[in-house]
Each structure stands twice: as C-alpha cells, then as structure tokens.
Amino acid sequence: MSLTLYYHPLSSFCWKVLVALYENDTPFKPHLVDLGDPAQAAAFKELWPIRKFPVVRDERTGTTIPESTIIIEYLNRHYPGRTRFIADDAETVRQIRYVDRLYDLHLHLHMQKVVGDRMRPETKRDPLGVEDAKTRMRTALDLIDRDMQGRTWAVGDAFSMADCSACPTLYYANLVLPFGETHRHASAYMNRLLQRPSFARVVKEAEPYRHMFPT
Ligand SMILES: N[C@@H](CCC(=O)N[C@@H](CS)C(=O)NCC(=O)O)C(=O)O
C-alpha cells in the first residue's frame, strides 16, 4: 500500500479527502494525528510545516501532497476509479473548480471560524468576527440553495470533486447554522450526500470522536 493519509477523523477538510478515497475504494493507510500531543504535532510539522491536515504521502512516487483539493486532483490522476472527480472537458473542469472554491473559501472557512471561536478561552473570543462569518455563511448558502434547485449533484449529472467539498461543509455548516428551514434545496442536497455510501461511512467513523466537537 503506497498511500498514507495523515488526518483526524473529525476534521472537516479530511472528510473531503476520505469521501474521495472511499468513493473508489482506494487503499490507503490512515495515520491519525493528535495535534494535542506535542510529539505528534512536531512530527507532522516536519512533514508539512503549515501543520494542517489532510496530507497524503505517496511512497510510490515519493510525493507529499497537502491541501484537500490538490490531493483529490492527485488521486484522480494517479489512482483513478469508477468515480471521476475531475471532468475531461475544460468547461466542466472550470465549473467543478469554481464550486470547490465556493465551498472551501466562502462556506467552509467561515464555518471553521465559528467552530474555532468556541474552542477559545472565554476572554479571547471574537463575537464580531463570528457574526461576520455567519453573515458570509448565509450569503454562500443563498447561492448554493439557488444553484441546487433542480440539481442532483453540484456540477452536471455526475458526482465530482465539487460534491466531495460539499459533504463536510454542508454537514458542519448545518450544525453551527441550521439551514433545513431556510435553504431547502441545499438541505435536500446535503441529505442526498448523506445517503452516499462514501460519505455515510465517513460520518459513521467519526461518531466515536463526536464528543470533541464544541457545541
Ligand atoms: N486548505 C486546507 C485546509 C486544511 C485545514 O484547515 N485543516 C484543519 C482541520 S479541518 C487543520 O488542520 N487544523 C489544525 C490547525 O489549524 O491547527 C485544505 O484544503 O486541506
């Protein structure tokens, strides 16, 4: 087995890559990193100085690949399977990358801000930043809700990298800012994603760690 995934089972960006790996039953060695353990954190920093997971190490090519989107593009190219994460034609590729960026930058990061703030000491909280993050989340959800009207998957007729990005982002966004009543198309899409075996497996495997999520 040549692939190792450095990850944590509760990490939303790791979920994005886990969905892609499970979609194609791609064999990999899971390496859980506990950033709360100084030795593990230091070893992980050696691998990727930015110290954020997911990171994939491919011993076959001697490559270390950080960044969820780049990992999925790498898997698509070097470990192809029944689910193609990136399309063949340039226009569909543009759409997939756009949706991937929309989820990561305009919903996922703001959701992280809200969750991250809950983990800060009371005196170090940033209520204004959290309010701004929630406003930006609502704007992104408005856009997603409009786009998902009449669609099954995020781009075209097939499950792609765009849907991998949507899985953790909608799931965790719904925990911090429940949108079932306000954004029905986005919510129906999230429920469809939850039916997908790859994503259902990721959510199930995270259950034992769920108590670590700050409410
Ligand atoms: N742009 C990165 C974001 C990765 C990221 O934010 N990872 C979080 C977990 S979801 C992390 O490692 N947080 C640990 C920290 O910031 O110390 C990607 O797409 O992979």
157-176 tens-digit pLDDT? 999 999 999 999 999 999 99
166-209 tens-digit pLDDT? 999 999 999 999 999 999 999 999 999 999 999 999 999 999 99
Q: Which residue from 157, 188, 196 is spatially nearest to 22, judged by alpha carbons?
A: 196
pTM for the whole structure: 0.97
25-74 tens-digit pLDDT? 999 999 999 999 999 999 999 999 999 999 999 999 999 999 999 999 99
Which atom of ligand 1 is nearest the CA belonging to 11? 10
Which atom of ligand 1 is nearest the CA belonging to 69? 19
Residues with CB under 6 A from ligand 1: 11-13, 35, 51-54, 67-69
pLDDT at residue 133 above 90? yes
**Are residues 100 and 161 in contact, defined by beta-carbon separation less than 8 angstroms?**
yes
pLDDT at residue 1 above 90? no
